[in-house]
Amino acid sequence: EREEKRIPDARFDILYEDDSILVINKPAGVAVHGGSGVSFGVIEQLRAMRPEAKFLELVHRLDKETSGILVLAKKRSALTRLHEQIREGSIDKRYQALVHGNWKNQRQHVRLPLLKYHTTDGERRVRVDAAGQASHTVFNVLRHYPDFTLLEAELKTGRTHQIRVHLAAIQHPLLSDPLYGIRDSRCPRLALHACRVSIPHPLSNDMLRVECPLPQDLRQLLD
């Protein structure tokens, strides 16, 4: 007999909420939606927790291994407007990234075209390829450590795995990136965290800025 798969309850830290948008802190290791071997993700869990919500959709995605700010829309009009803003480039998303090596420049632009492909196992991957989509990331140094550097990454385009592949391509891979980097026993998971977003509010157009400090596992590593 087949059992209905029950979606387990999940408590996500709510960073901001009003009638049209919901901003949460997504833990590392949780997919944003079900599919490809994952039976449920953040969006399914939130819908299960809020059965009264008539509308709840992801505005953007975060990789499963990445922690931090995830924006959801509670109204279709808000979703449409936020997607327009993403296309216009008026949403400013910042990440903190811990990378191998001693980063030289205080501020560095990386413009390398990215192409999606599938491995022989059917896994989705991304590589730098002249045939790919134009992609642009700006990296700012926050702090130097003996073997690695803490960076802030500013996305100018929003390609799949963009920060991860750009960093690997310039020989500063993220710590413990299972796809594009080197496992590091000191770091329990991918060292990438969505730390700040600035959005013109989809209804009022007032600037909304939400911050989310580094989670405990990454802070402990830096300490």
Q: Indicate which residues carry an active-site annotation.
A: 63
**d(C-alpha 150, C-alpha 213), whole Å:** 14
The set of residues, in sequence order, having a beta carbon less than 8 Å from that of 223 and lying 6+ positions away, is none
